[in-house]
Amino acid sequence: MSDKNSNNNDNKNNNFFNNNPLITFAIFSVVIILLFKVLVGEGTDLDSANNTVNRKTKQVSYSELKSLVESKTVSKVSIGQSYIKAVSTDGSVYTTRIVRGDTNLVELLDKQGIEYTGFSETNWFTEMFGWLFPFLIIIAIWMFFAGRMQKSMGGGILGMGNSKKMVNSEKPNTKFDDVAGVEEAKEEVQEIVDFLKYPARYVEIGAKIPKGVLLVGSPGTGKTLLAKAVAGEADVPFFSVSGSSFIEMFVGVGAARVRDLFEQAKKDAPSIIFIDEIDAIGKSRAAGGMMGGNDEREQTLNQLLAEMDGFGTDTPIIILAATNRPEVLDAALLRPGRFDRQVLVDKPDFQGRIKILKVHMKNVKMDDDVEIEEIARLTAGLAGADLANIINEAALLAGRKSQKTVKQKDLFESVERAIAGLAKKSRRINPKEKKIVAYHESGHALLAETTEGAKKVSKVSIVPRGLAALGYTLNKPEEDKFMMQKHELWAEVDVLLGGRAAEQVFIGEISTGAGNDLERATDIIKSMVQTYGMSDVAGLMVLEKSRQSFLGGGQQATREYSDKMAEKMDEFIKSSLAERYESVLARLEDYKGAIENMVALLYEKENITGEEVRDIIINFEKDNNMESKVAASVDDIEAELKEDAAMSKKDSKIEESESKDEQ
């Protein structure tokens, strides 16, 4: 009942006059002036002049009017700026224009003893409008600029703190079934849904539901989608706003918007407030230095902290926030009682990618030859948004070819677009460069297939892609890995050096194409020394501390070693690269025939699959009675594929049985 009364009061206050204070002020001023003019007027002179309007008026000449005065035919005369009005003894009214050169009329009136007065010829409303008009112009200009500022600031001069235009209020239809690949995160927020549906159940038992839940994870992992799913499952209003919407050039605007946002949420409780990119307002205040500060961001953060303390744990309002920079958030924001819980929305694993692909394939016509498991295996490390984009790109490719369904090759092409970039079919490279690229990529592929711990080849291409890639070797991990052993890191270094070594063995001269490969190989060995303790240079001592970030590339490292240690590390990296390079050269010398066969097939087809690469190597090993370095890994891959297929079938059966039970 109280909610209805508050809503009614809010509707009463939300009228034209309250929403437009400037217009209200102008109307009120005009009404007051009109009432003053009507009640006070301009005295008897104006009244006597106006009373003559209702009588019969006759236009006479100036000399005739003077004759009437001399004969005392008139009883009263009113003199204006340009006209003279005379009232005769019988009530008739005579008017004439004043002759400027004559000054004897007043003397004549005094001589004859006739009453005379002055009057204003201008209308009182016109006179009032004349001096009021400039003020109206000023008010209109003020309102124009106020409206412009209102659009840019979401409020206006007298209402700049209003957040209604910044907040997206809705009741989402998204459910947990629409969010896949983040099962642990869904379990974490499930109790929030129950609290919003049945708050009394938790209040009675004395449980305290978290006021705030912080969703952290890499971009594109589905943090916003998960927040909408919570509101959709609970069937409550969902107030979503970006953190940057609170920040303006005027100090205090952001704090006012925070107050307004929480007031809206309390009126529609139970509800959910979702603040996306909360790091825009929640950065640590300690980052400003010892002097502190009083800027707009800090004022907004202080107001947010106060509002989160302003309602109890029994108030059915949950605050969800999302960020991919949790390391920069203020400690006061993360303490228990505010954002009590942090939920990691991580990139999906193999089974999670399969589920995400199925969700996005629901409304896309897929061909019978589509193997979701193969696409999921190729997209290791990609987020949910990337997978959604891959499905959409495949559908666009199929539509461009006038196909009725999306085929497996369309999905493969979209994966390559996402990883390597758009194919530059119009870029024509000369035969010499094409030959160099073919040997370079074949060297990568051979080392990847014959080195223990390396990622196996999925595809080799000499078709230019992206901004600078003239060719590429697409590797796929045998399984989802969350850590790497020492021999796997060395294997990755060998694969990176394989391209440059192939150029030296088969071309006789190296090119600039291996620049990025050498950079990555150097970084791997450097990390083994500095961070992982995998060398004798520093032993178990960590030489460089890095602060990991979900955004990637934003790591801030601090050097904590001497120049002498730096010399030792440089020498170790140099000698290790030289040692691994010699090993790679020897491997390529042993497999010269396999490389030549691979290059010939690349010249013919421009794209070859990982199976074709393995067949070439295995046949070469058989022809030369060599111990196979590929066969064992192929058997392991096939066994793993069967295990993954069985696992996915098992999961699908469990989902089908659960859906039947729900029905």
* Residues belonging to the active site: 441
Q: Of 448, 507, 510, 436, whose CA–CA distance to 473 is shortest?
A: 448
Known binding residue 336? Answer is no
The sign of the CA dihedral 377, 382, 386, 387 is positive
533 phi-psi bin (left φ>0, alpha ψ -120 to 50, beta other): left
Report whether 218 contacts 553 (CB < 8 A). no
Q: State yes or no: 379 annotated in a binding site.
A: no
Q: Which amino acid, one-letter code, is at 34? A: L
What is the C-alpha to C-alpha distance for residues 320 and 295, in angstroms, rounded to an integer? 25
Task: Judge whether 232 is annotated as a binding position.
Answer: no
Tell me whether residue 424 is annotated as binding. Answer: no
Q: Has 217 been labeled as part of a binding site? A: yes
CA distance 341 to 353: 26
Q: Which of 514, 500, 488 is nearest to 588 (CA)?
A: 500
User: Could you write out the DSSP letters of every residue in 370-414?
Assistant: --HHHHHHHTTT--HHHHHHHHHHHHHHHHHTT-SSB-HHHHHHH
The reply to whether 522 sits in an annotated binding site is: no
Tokens of 340: 């009590």
d(CA 448, CA 517): 14
Containing H/E element for 527? helix 515-530
Q: Within 13 Å and on the Cβ side, how many CA atoms surround 169?
A: 14
- Tell whether residue 235 is among the known ligand binding residues: no
Contact indicator for 206, 256 with CB cutoff of 8 Å: no
The runs of H, that is alpha helices, within 401-452 are: 408-420, 431-450
Residue 222 marked as a ligand binder: yes
Ligand-binding site membership of 147 (annotated): no
**Residue 403, both tokens:** 């196909």
384, 222 Cβ separation under 8 angstroms: yes
CA–CA distances in Å: residue 268 to residues 228, 271, 317: 17, 6, 9
Q: Would you say 386 is a known binding-site residue?
A: no
Q: How far is Cα 220 from Cα 420, in angstroms, rounded to an integer?
A: 19
Q: Is the Cα dihedral 286, 291, 292, 296 positive or negative?
A: negative
As a residue count, the chain comes to: 663
Closest listed residue to residue 305, CA positions, set 275, 282, 289: 282
218 is in an annotated binding site: yes
Question: Which residues is 469 bridged to in the sheet?
Answer: 465
Residues belonging to the binding site are: 217-224, 440, 444, 517
Residues annotated in a binding site for Zn(2+): 440, 444, 517
Pick out the residues of the known binding site for ATP. Answer: 217-224
